Amino acid sequence: MLPGRPTRRDGARVIVPRFEDPAPARGAFITFEGGEGAGKSTQVARLAATLRARSGRGACVTREPGGSPRAEEIRAALLDGVAKPYGPFAEALLFSAARIDHLDRLIRPALQRGETVLCDRFIDSTRAYQGAAGGLDPGVIAALERVVVGPTRPDLTLILDLPPEAGLARATARGAGQKADRFEAEALGFHVRLRDAFLAIARAEPARCAVIDAGRDPDAVEAAIRDAVASRLPDLLPELPPGEGIRGDAA
């Protein structure tokens, strides 16, 4: 028997999640959340470039669902709608399965190396999509977070907020000619509930979350994100000497 692992009465080993890290996480964990087409991927890339140039630390860019080869396989199935007929609980389990692999293979190792991890969607998407908009009981979602995520919680979550009509129009314009994916294809009411859910998360956890007005042009959104990071995690974006780094230091 491995230390700390319970066994069943028949002697078989019981697998339980273990979160004791071999070394304490030294990096920072930043997640980006919001509705469809809010501009998360665009801003993850911009912030990563800024952090690489300014913080002297590595910046690891990743996304959910996905981020590791196995999780990317689950992503393809989820966005194709394979799990939709089974309902939001089954979908939440699949997002969780992808998240377990992503955390183990990529996020926790990067944090232990002292890198800043920038993740395009994380637990709040499960809360909003499968929970608030999908109807899954918040108690079930909290239980999943406890066993899947454990202590690996974001230090900062940037919630990119804009009316769903605008986000869906951006996503449609970008994917001109492509079929909408499993979640893009939901009715407008679903996307309105998503927006409300993300804003409610921000109100409930103001120390972790910052709401960014994503309806502005990409440079203005980027500037607001830099301000939020600089004020919440000042070690990552130390103040520049006067006259330096207005724009272009993210190139």
How many residues bind ligand T5A (CB under 6 A)? The answer is 25
Give the dihedral of Cα atoms 117, 146, 90, 101; nearest 10 deg. Answer: 40
Show the binding pattern over residues 8-27: x = contacts ligand T5A (CB under 6 A), - = does not. --------------------
Amino acid identity for residue 108 in this structure = R
Should residue 135 be labelled a site residue for ligand T5A when binding is judged by CB under 6 A? Answer: no
Show the binding pattern over residues 151-180: x = contacts ligand T5A (CB under 6 A), - = does not. -------------------xx--x------
Should residue 203 be labelled a site residue for ligand T5A when binding is judged by CB under 6 A? Answer: no
Helix (H) or strand (E) holding 235: none
Should residue 126 be labelled a site residue for ligand T5A when binding is judged by CB under 6 A? Answer: yes
Q: How far is CA 158 from the centre of its chain?
A: 9
- Among 149, 160, 166, 159, smallest CA distance to 201 is for 159
Cβ 114 to ligand T5A shortest distance, Å:
25
Should residue 62 be labelled a site residue for ligand T5A when binding is judged by CB under 6 A? Answer: no
Could you tell me which residues are beta bridge partners of residue 30?
118, 156
Choose one: 23-31, 57-65, 195-203, 223-231; the region binding ligand T5A (CB under 6 A).
57-65
Q: What are the tokens at 18?
A: 């273990």
Q: What are the tokens at 150?
A: 């454990």
d(CA 39, CA 215): 9
Cβ 146 to ligand T5A shortest distance, Å:
15
Choose one: 9-17, 124-132, 145-153, 243-251; the region binding ligand T5A (CB under 6 A).
124-132
Return the axis-axis angle of helices 218-232 and 40-54, rounded to nearest 10°.
Answer: 50
Where do contacts with ligand T5A occur on this chain (CB under 6 A)? 36-42, 63-65, 79, 95, 120-121, 125-126, 129-130, 170-171, 174, 183, 217-218, 221
